Structure 1
Amino acid sequence: MTSSPPETRASLILRLQDPADIAAWNEFAEIYAPVIYRSARRLGLQAADADDVVQEVLSAVARSVSGWLDREERGAFRAWLFRIARNLSIDFLTRRKHRPWAAGGDEAARHLNEVEADSDISSHIDAEVQREIFVRASQSVRACVSDTTWKAFHRTAVLGESIERVAAELSISAGSIYIARSRVMKRLQNEVTIIQKRCNDEM
């Protein structure tokens, strides 16, 4: 599998200053839009509202990334991004028409207090990013190997099914299973490394 050299995180952020740079925005959205969506859902938003949060976050980044780059002490890009996502999610929760609870009530107040006090959001976001990276890597690798090779890997290495059973059902040898697993794992590791280079905070 051949891949073009990945953009560094710093260069990608610089490119986001140009709203017309479709390639940069597509690359950015591929990883972060699903993560922002799941994080908004975790904070209590309904699916439609989580979709709106994703759009608002992307719009906010487009409007503000140049200003963020001009700051002398700006911190990590990912931390800035998810402060925007968290604040917009909380804003949605406090709008009556967007609340997923009847008339606000005690349950809404309790949940908002939990959101405000959630000190684990950074670790959650990091876990979500790693999950999305694996999903993207898996999609890329699956498109490059045969269906039998992917099934041999996924069923034994991911689902934990026995090699003997999978080999019999796929009509291949146990040795072929081991070879398939090795090939897919190597491809996955390479693809994950490429995607991680795109996502690492270098600024």
Structure 2
Amino acid sequence: MAPLSETRESLIIQVKNPENRVAWEEFVSIYRPVIVRTAVARGMQLADAQDLAQQVLLAVASAISRWEKRDKTTRFRHWLSKITRNAIVNALSRGPKDRAAGGSSIQELLAQYQQPDVETVSLIDWEYRRELYLQAARIVQKDVQNETWQAFELTVIDGMSNQEAAEVLGKSLGTIYTARCRIMQRLRDEIAEMEASEQ
């Protein structure tokens, strides 16, 4: 994914333009894995979850032009989680012979279950944050030296102490600490930039 410029319009606004393929590809790269992991977590097989993600993305593509942020509390992810939850419930409750038949419109998906599903909303939010981290990590890892990334990986991801990482990498404790802090700040900055693009 290309770095996001500070003056860039909201990703959601860009996706509303059907001609903007770059925005749609970025949107899909963020939300497809979120939908798939959410569906798997809710009990679907991976292949079915991938099919469901395609169905949800098609439904979003056909209805996103009508989505509007009404106030500061309106979140696109809540709208997406409602669509995803309804699609999951539909897929899990259908019999095997009609499971592959798609074609539900966005209005049907939204109308079937009016009650908010806190668990799915929470899961979508968690998976969304996870996906932002993974995308930010890919960006940051390309921009830093291998040893700097290793220091971060050993201490933050693998849970090794700074002292142990310093011994493994043959670096000073201060170098490990600095590398870890720099990477964490870069990740925060990248994630904040990605989130700002969806406001």
TM-score by length of 1: 0.77
User: What do residues 14-61 of structure 1 show as CA deviations (whole Å, max 9, x unaligned)?
Assistant: 332333311110121122111111111122111011001111111111
Q: Which residue of 1 aligns with 2:5?
A: 4
Identity of aligned residues (%): 38
Q: Secondary structure at the match of 2:65?
A: helix
Secondary structure at the residue paired with 1:120? Answer: helix
Determine whether 1:29 maps to 2:28.
yes
Deviation at 1:91, TM superposition (A): 1.4
Alignment of 1:1-203 (within 5 A): 3-5=4-6, 7-9=8-10, 12-69=11-68, 75-97=74-96, 118-199=117-198, 202=199
- Structure 2 Cα separation of the partners of residues 130 and 72 of structure 1: 23
Q: CA deviation at 1:159?
A: 2.1
Out of 120-129 and 31-40, give the one that drifted further: 120-129
Determine the C-alpha separation between the residues in 2 that align with 1:28 and 1:6.
18
Q: Deviations over 1:150-202 (max 9, x none)?
A: 11111113322122322222122222111211221221121111111123xx4
For 1:44, what is the secondary structure of its paired residue? coil
- TM superposition shift of 1:8: 4.2
Conserved in 2, the CA contact under 8 Å of 1:163 and 1:177?
Answer: yes
Distance 1:13 1:165, change over 3 A: closer
Gaps of 5+ in 1: 101-115
Aligned-partner residue type, residue 120 of structure 1: E
1:66 Cα deviation after fit: 2.1
Query: Using CA pairs below 8 Å that are at least 6 residues apart, which structure has the higher relative contact order?
Result: 1
CA spacing shift, 1:26–1:6, aligned 2, 3 Å: farther
Encode CA deviations 1:61-93: one digit per residue, 9 max, x unaligned.
Answer: 111122334x989x5432222211111111111
- For 2:142, the aligned partner's letter is A
Q: Does the 8 A contact of 1:6 with 1:195 survive in 2?
A: no
**Contact 1:137–1:188 (8 Å) recurs in 2:** yes
Whether the 8 Å CA contact 1:40–1:89 is kept in 2: the answer is yes
TM-score (norm 2): 0.79
CA gap of 1:119–1:193, structure 2 versus 1, over 3 A, is closer
Higher Rg? 1
Which letter maps to 2:143?
C
* CA–CA distance in structure 2, aligned partners of residues 117 and 61 of structure 1: 18
